[in-house]
Amino acid sequence: MPQLIVLIGKEERKISYQPGPSVREILEGAGAQVRTACRGHGACGLCEIRLLGGGTLEPTLNERLHLTRPRLARGVRLACQLRPQGDLRLEVLHAAPPSKWRGLSGEGFPSSAWPPAPWPVARLPEVKSPLGVAVDLGTTNIRLVLLKLTDGERLARLRGRNPQLSFGADVLTRLVAAQESPETARALSAQVVAAIAEGLAELAGRQGLDLRRVTSLAVVGNTPMLALMAGKNYQLLLQPQHWENPVACRPATSAPWVEAWGTHPQAAVRLIQPLAGFVGSDLLAGLVATRLLSGPAPAVFIDFGTNSEIALWDGRNLWITSAAGGPAFELWGLQSGMLAEPGAVHRVEWGASGSLRYQVLGGEEPRGFCGSGLVDLITGLVETGRLSRTGRFAAGAAAAGAAPLEIAPGIGSLVLSMADVDALQRAKAAIGAGLLVLGRHSGITLASLARVCVAGEFGRFLDVTSAQAIGLLPRVPADRVELSGDAALRGCGDLILSTAAQQHLAQLRRTAKLISLAHAEDFEELFLANLYLEPLKED
């Protein structure tokens, strides 16, 4: 894989990339964005870099317009105009200030498969090129995508932390805090509104656009996040009798949000309503994006997260449940866990002699394991006898069998603790039990699944064989498994752009049959049976 060797001030970074995107897009994906104000069209001339070595790339017309011949001769170029194919050494001349928000590449984010609805320009005739924003409000992260309402083009994506983490890493802690104090409840809502405002401002700055062109904004998320944002009915989610019923998460008015975000004053703001207590609209949006009901049956959709949601389509009914994934699926609280971003080990391979080889996103020095790397690591440790199927280190693998295991001495503090293994075991056992409960209700065996859609940050780079070996995914042929990435965000965009997608959402609500694992008599038995680091059991 080719590399960019990038000098930013006194810091030098190595960034691996797949040919295709511009230098600007590659840098943004690695969190090293340059100054820009024109959506990468070469119109502003701000994203200047200097080529220090590598292949020769002919200047584009836009570069010749912005840069004098002497400057071009010295290697000065525009990052948005260069699409490298091989190794390249360069210096960023005008770096953007550090941001809490990271740009996400277009990889894994295809255009909508739904027919676009004509945008009703007459509604706001003064807006000549209207824009929309889709938001996936997660427990740990917030994702945004900017859309052209005229043709559905995805212009940019960003990801940032959910600031509510300061009130607790899990939804129950936040719900309790909100219930105990109206002031805290207002603060939790305000934090999310402010974070979205910050993300929108970041989009505007990077793309060089006026936010008043944003005339439509939609938000999907799990039910607690939507309820806390709206400041409505979050207390109900602490009462089990409401878990299987719809919970309204509509604010009294969205006018203060529109003002805080700086969008068009008449922008349409929608919180896509959840299905029930702990089955959110993020799951529904993911089903819209993957068109689960339009493909072969039986099929299953799994959205890995702190609150993991599962849907099984048997050809007639859509069976849905949610399971407590805990911190493992967000890599939150794990000693060497991190999101799938530059510096994350995303693939681990084991040689015949037990030697370890790893791949790091962005070609940088490893800083931790993202979900796929953690699954590969644990699978390899089990297969090489260093970790038992009950989740205990073998004698000699770590001091006293309980101290963190140093994974790769000499490359940094990459360790795996017993608590890390235990967190993943519990999370994957909950998923396995949820799948089996749905299978029993529908009469479907997991082995007969024709399609398995895997969504969520955790599953972005999963090796299917590794995931199946420890019981994280059903054992079906690998070509039946789809890694669906940001399906919730993609589906949220579909619901902005397409009336057909909106009609499909209504069908999903009519078809869904909700199963509460809290009331499933066999859940505990299935959970305990699937704690072992081995393939899913249907017996």
Q: What is the pLDDT of residues 478-521, one digit of tens each?
A: 999 999 888 999 999 999 999 999 999 999 999 999 998 888 88
Distances (CA, A) of 79 to 106, 280, 507: 17, 40, 45
Show me where the domains of the chain are located: 3-98, 121-281, 335-416
What per-residue confidence (pLDDT) applies to 165? Answer: 86
Q: Stretch 401-412: mean pLDDT, rounded?
A: 59
Give CATH superfamily name and number for 121-281. Answer: Domain of unknown function (DUF4445) (3.30.420.480)
d(CA 322, CA 24): 39
Contacts of 45 (CB under 8 A, 6+ apart): 62, 65, 66, 67, 78
Tokens at residue 495, please? 């619901």
pLDDT band of residue 402 (cuts 50, 70, 90) is: low
More confident residue, 401 or 38: 38
Tell which residue, 24, 33, 133, has the closest CA to residue 82. Answer: 24
Q: Stretch 206-219: mean pLDDT, rounded?
A: 92
d(CA 202, CA 158): 9
Task: State whether CATH 2.40.30.10 applies to domain 3-98.
Answer: no
pLDDT digits (tens, 9 = 90+) for 278-315: 899 999 999 999 999 999 999 999 998 878 899 999 99
Note the pTM of the prediction, 2 decimals.
Answer: 0.82
Strands annotated E in 400-527: 405-406, 415-416, 451-455, 481-485, 512-514
The 3-class SS string of 195-233 reads: HHHHHHHHHHHHHCCCHHHEEEEEEEECHHHHHHHHCCC
More confident residue, 411 or 477: 477
Strands annotated E in 304-388: 307-313, 318-324, 344-350, 356-360, 368-369
